[in-house]
Amino acid sequence: DAGVTQSPTHLIKTRGQHVTLRCSPISGHKSVSWYQQVLGQGPQFIFQYYEKEERGRGNFPDRFSARQFPNYSSELNVNALLLGDSALYLCASSQAVSSYNEQFFGPGTRLTVL
């Protein structure tokens, strides 16, 4: 079975632009979470979605938004990009939203903001 897939793998944007990152969860998984990993740091939680509803939001500005589609795939949108948004964006999927449910991480999307 395929693991969590993310697209694109890399992208370069300039300040002020908008970006959309995509994530396809493992088949059968209904929860998707997004994390931001700045170089040299651990991942930071951004959003969690379950059954198309937002279940959690981390300490990120309103420029960050996300949604989950009926097929459980997800998009992360970032508006008005700043240099500090440069990071690896990780998507994780799980069957449900309990801590008992292991999260499986995708390879990430490397975003560079110039």
Which position among 30, 55, 60, 64 is part of the footprint of another protein (CB under 8 A)? 55
For residue 88, what are the β-bridge partners? 37, 110
CB 29 within 8 A of CB 61: no
Q: Is 106 in the site for another protein (CB under 8 A)?
A: yes
Q: Is 11 in the site for another protein (CB under 8 A)?
A: no
Tell me the closest approach of the beta carbon of residue 43 to another protein, in angstroms.
5
Q: Provide φ and ψ at 72, rounded to 5°.
A: 75, 0
Tell me the closest approach of the beta carbon of residue 59 to another protein, in angstroms.
10
CB 21 within 8 A of CB 110: no
Q: Provide φ and ψ at 103, rounded to 5°.
A: -95, 135
Q: Provide φ and ψ at 47, rounded to 5°.
A: -145, 155
Q: Is 93 in the site for another protein (CB under 8 A)?
A: no
Residue 88 corresponds to which tokens in the numbers above?
């690896």
Judged by beta carbon, residue 108 or residue 111, the one nearer another protein is: 108
Which position among 28, 42, 70, 84 is part of the footprint of another protein (CB under 8 A)? 42
Q: Residues in the site for another protein, rule: CB under 8 A? A: 4, 31, 33, 35, 40-45, 48, 55-56, 58, 90, 92, 94, 97-108
